[in-house]
Amino acid sequence: MRDSQDLSTQDLSTQLLRGMRIAQTVIVLVILVGLNVPNLLANLGGYRVPWAGIASLGVFFVLAGIDAVLVARHRLWGRARWPVAVFLLVVTLGASLALHPAELSGPAHVTLGSAGWIAVLLFTGASLRGLLAVLGAHLLIVLGLLLATGRSDQVTLVAFATTAVAVTSFQLAVGLAGSALRAVAVQAAAAAEESARTVTADAVAAAVHTDREARYAELRAVALPLLRGIGDGTRSPADPEVQRAAALGAARLRRMFAEERDAADPLAAELATLIDIAERRGVEVHYSERGSRAIPPPDVCQGLLDEVGAGLLGAERTARVTLSGVERAVVLSVVSDAAEGRVVPGERTRADGSTVTTVVGGGRTWVEARWAPRS
């Protein structure tokens, strides 16, 4: 649940941030190409090691390129964010060290302005605090270098502060906008989650209500005629036929209210209930299960159980019950010593497609109900 929520929040914020990120990419590329490259080429002489200046700008291009690919793929920097940020700081430190100290606050120091933009790209979609930390660390490093090289005169420091405030405020503004968008996304995701939860709860309530109504309908069909008959005296509780109908009805009610309705194998679970009822009536039941079976639809299960249930609950002393999965068929069978008079031997097909075979002989009644899924 948490995972999916986090995921949906992330998806949503990634989508919302996308427009923003495309704009950022354009800004960074314009700054790198339009401002930094000409500045660097014009001021290569400011570097003690010129290739270091070129290499550091090259790294910025590579990072901006990777970010563009991530934007296109709807992805954020994720776990790579902090290691890359540290790498970025190391590169900028290297570029600054490669400069003549006099150029630290001059136009040759191209990484001073653009490192922050790369950090903005890295921290899009993440906490604002991370971005602040990296921007701050970057400025502190440069300030440290200025002081270490003895350039603590007021003019230099003011020039540095002006550059830092001008550049960093732009970067912070963009970072803040991203952060605000992300907060909106989190709220939107929570709202979507909440609305989905409400819809699910409504659907569950409706399903429970329908199920309950179906159970009561079944109750009316099974139990009420029998009870009414006994009540008005048209049916006698002493009549074996009425007793069997009552036992079948009781079995069905028990199945209806049983927890096993939701069992992995409802047919086996409901069959166990039927066997239990027969055993309570003193019938010795031998039960055996073979093979792997498909799970028939609920109405077919009910049909199969009704067919063999009459034989099982009509048993006097013994019954043999088997449940098999053979080829693709589900086969439920009861052999009992139920009185022979009540059943018609032969084979018939039910409306649900299952076939029922009844064999009577040697004082035993054998009812087999078989169903196979249509291929």
Residues at the interface with other proteins (CB under 8 A):
286, 288, 290-292, 320, 322, 324-327, 331, 333, 335, 357, 359, 361-362, 364, 366, 368
Minimum distance from residue 281 beta carbon to other proteins (Å)? 20
Query: Which residue from 283, 290, 298 is spatially nearest to 247, judged by alpha carbons?
Result: 283
Minimum distance from residue 365 beta carbon to other proteins (Å)? 9
* 220 vs 286, beta carbon nearer other proteins: 286
Longest dimension (CA), the chain: 118
| Amino acid occupying residue 76 | L
Q: Two tokens at 35? A: 């401002």
Q: How far apart are CA 325 and CA 39, in angstroms?
A: 81
* 297 vs 346, beta carbon nearer other proteins: 346
Minimum distance from residue 77 beta carbon to other proteins (Å)? 51
3-state SS of 21-85 is HHHHHHHHHHHHHHHHHHHHHHCHHHECCHHHHHHHHHHHHHHHHHHHHHHHCCCCCHHHHHHHH
* 237 vs 362, beta carbon nearer other proteins: 362
Q: How far apart are CA 262 and CA 342, in angstroms?
A: 33
124 φ, ψ to 5°? -65, 130
* 73 vs 317, beta carbon nearer other proteins: 317
Pairing type for strands 329-336 and 364-371 reads: antiparallel
Minimum distance from residue 345 beta carbon to other proteins (Å)? 9
Minimum distance from residue 364 beta carbon to other proteins (Å)? 7
Minimum distance from residue 182 beta carbon to other proteins (Å)? 56
* 258 vs 360, beta carbon nearer other proteins: 360
Q: How far apart are CA 267 and CA 325, in angstroms?
A: 12
Q: Where are the beta strands (DSSP E) in the chain?
A: 284-290, 318-326, 329-336, 346-349, 355-361, 364-371
* 155 vs 344, beta carbon nearer other proteins: 344
Q: Could you please report the per-residue DSSP string of 181-193?
A: HHHHHHHHHHHHH
* 210 vs 288, beta carbon nearer other proteins: 288
Minimum distance from residue 325 beta carbon to other proteins (Å)? 6
Q: How far apart are CA 189 and CA 7, in angstroms?
A: 10
* 276 vs 284, beta carbon nearer other proteins: 284
Q: Two tokens at 74? A: 């709807």
Cβ–Cβ under 8 Å, residues 274 and 336: no
Minimum distance from residue 352 beta carbon to other proteins (Å)? 21
* 164 vs 335, beta carbon nearer other proteins: 335
Minimum distance from residue 334 beta carbon to other proteins (Å)? 9
